[in-house]
Structure 1
Amino acid sequence: MKKLALVHTSATLIPVFQELCQAFLPGVQVFNIVDDFLVKNIIASGSLTPTIAKQVVGYVESAQMGGADQVLVTCSSIGPAVELSEHLVDIPVLRVDQPMADKAVAMGTRIGVIATLSSTLEPTADLISRRAEVASKKIQLEAVLCEGAFDALMRGDAATHDQKVTEVLKQLASKVDVIVLAQASMARVVANLNPSEKKVPILSSPQIAIEYLASQQALS
């Protein structure tokens, strides 16, 4: 049986990906590696530091030693470190937002990106720009930070978080062809939107990433 390692920066994502893996990768054994201090340290430092990058690489190497045939890192904030780790192990490594970025580039030329953390917004926007270059496609990228939404969520005020994200989604929908959610935690906001409020496609990384893995030979 093939093994997939999921590297998380929040334990709250485990059930999300567990459900998706059961649906799309029923014949694959999944195990999780979690370190919720990675993002906290990025927020404290203001960016992805060399020390944090080394930690990410270490978790990917641990996943390989644990017998993984493929690694999926589910946090966009540490994406650059994930790309670095690809060259240091002998198994495929995927950052969760790459399939989503490719899908967004294929769907339109005006792409909106929203996040509640600047440490996530910047790496995701950069990835989309680079994937557009790979696809030889010119795009217009509009990246928007939902000010105050993350702090509200950390205070336990999910309603304020959802309201702020919803407002940005509505504003951005009139300007772009497709919207990318830089954080998986915002997907539940989309689920609560009225159909009339979903004027353009809104992409979230978890399901797109798992569907992508299901199509790859590494786990077949």
Structure 2
Amino acid sequence: MVTPGPTLTLLHTSPVHVPVFDGLRDQDHPGFALRHLVHPDLLARARAEGPDTVAGEVEALLKRAVADGASAVLCTCSTIGAVAESLAPAAGVPVLRVDRPMAAAAVAAGRSVAVVATVESTLEPTVALVEEEAARAGRPVDITTVLVDGAWERFEAGDQDGCARLVALAVDGLAGVDAVVLAQASMADAADRTTLPVPVVSSPRPGLRAAVLRCGAEAKS
């Protein structure tokens, strides 16, 4: 009898992330089992009322994922990532936020970190995450924030290319930074368009890698 391998469930607030993470899985972790929960309403409410207001619904979704066989859950939304991560004890499985490995990489690159976002509600939780990773690493950090005007509207209209162009232009206008954090998973395409000679880090690939490794560790324990 073949024992089924671990399953990672991803919690998204946009359907566009499903093919992105499936593609990364096929490239980096072929055959690994992914499941997707897509709830755009969570981001809409978190932006309007604050991330903590969706905690009850997120907890219910996590418990549903576990009941359906999830070995771990990866939240791909930076706005609600901290809320999801805090609910791991209630879920009973590891709950990871996709942007934590990215934040750690930015801190390792140098003291001055720019956090770039297309949605204002993402800035505060991402800054807090970078500060947390800096404290964990025992490294000083100076953070600046940039909100890219018009980029989210392009993304919502389905113009992902236009969104990435605006983000890349904003990044290339920065000076005096050691690393740039692209705060949302939806911004990842902009990383390859920038010419800034410092690390410009995005979350999907390192976040998925960390979650797959965590699933494997849980399966062996």
**TM-score > 0.5, shorter chain as reference:** yes
Aligned to 1:192: 193
Match of 1:2 among 6, 9, 14: 6
Match of 2:23 among 2, 14, 19: 19
- Range with greater deviation from structure 2 (53-62 or 200-209): 53-62
- Partner amino acid for 1:204? S
Q: Residue by residue, what CA displacement relative to the aligned partner does 1:151-194 show, whole Å, maximum 9, x if unpaired?
A: 2433455565344322210122x22111110012212122234x
Rounded Cα–Cα distance in structure 1 between residues aligned with 2:149 and 2:73: 32
CA shift for structure 1 position 22? 2.1
CA shift for structure 1 position 27? 4.2
Match of 2:203 among 198, 202, 205: 205
Q: Residue by residue, what CA displacement relative to the aligned partner does 1:120-148 show, whole Å, maximum 9, x if unpaired?
A: 11111111111111112111111111122
Rounded Cα–Cα distance in structure 2 between residues aligned with 1:159 and 1:66: 35
Rounded Cα–Cα distance in structure 1 between residues aligned with 2:198 and 2:157: 31
| Contact preservation (8 Å) 1:28, 1:219 | no
- Partner amino acid for 1:147? D
TM-score (norm 2): 0.89
Gaps of 5+ in 2: none
CA shift for structure 1 position 83? 2.1
Rounded Cα–Cα distance in structure 2 between residues aligned with 1:108 and 1:160: 30
Distance 1:70 1:189, change over 3 A: same
| Contact preservation (8 Å) 2:106, 2:199 | no
- Partner amino acid for 1:182? A
| Contact preservation (8 Å) 1:70, 1:219 | no
Aligned to 2:182: 181
Give the fraction of aligned pairs with identical amino acids, expressed as a percent.
Answer: 35
Distance 1:139 1:61, change over 3 A: same
- Partner amino acid for 1:67? G
Determine if the alignment matches structure 1 residue 41 to structure 2 residue 42: no
| Contact preservation (8 Å) 2:52, 2:83 | no
CA shift for structure 1 position 44? 2.9
Rounded Cα–Cα distance in structure 2 between residues aligned with 1:151 and 1:27: 35
| Counterpart mapping for 1:51-90 below 5 A | 52-90=54-92
Rounded Cα–Cα distance in structure 1 between residues aligned with 2:158 and 2:210: 33
Count of residues in correspondence between the two structures: 214
Distance 1:27 1:160, change over 3 A: closer
